[in-house]
Amino acid sequence: AQSVTQPDIHITVSEGASLELRCNYSYGATPYLFWYVQSPGQGLQLLLKYFSGDTLVQGIKGFEAEFKRSQSSFNLRKPSVHWSDAAEYFCAVGRGGSYIPTFGRGTSLIVHP
């Protein structure tokens, strides 16, 4: 069965530092992969998604993610973190014929000034 693992429960970075959030997936074929963000008191918002084509995907808010089949990974990156990026980040894989996003447990990002 398809699954997603986010190995880091919490990540702490300083404002202005670079960021990488890890995501590993388990899937037999080419996966459909997503990253979502959940800010405090707000709903989930899609940051970016990968279905095919270029393995480096650009998203909103300056985020990007790279699909690496050899490592079964889809890590999220941002070159310079802002305090407003503090939130919960979820990686998801599209499951079944309807590609239902199936989520990992999330990584909580803490940004120090």
Q: What minimum distance in Å lies between the beta carbon of 66 and another protein?
A: 19
Among 40, 53, 96, 113, binds another protein (CB under 8 A): 96
Interface with another protein, residue 56, by CB under 8 A: no
* Contacts by 27-30, CB closer than 8 A, 24 or more apart: 27/2, 27/72, 27/93, 30/69
**Strand, coil or helix: what is 84?**
helix
Among 51, 61, 80, 82, binds another protein (CB under 8 A): 51
**Residues with Cβ within 8 Å of residue 41, at least 6 apart in sequence:** none
Binding site for another protein (CB under 8 A): 9, 32, 42-46, 51, 90, 92, 94-96, 98-106
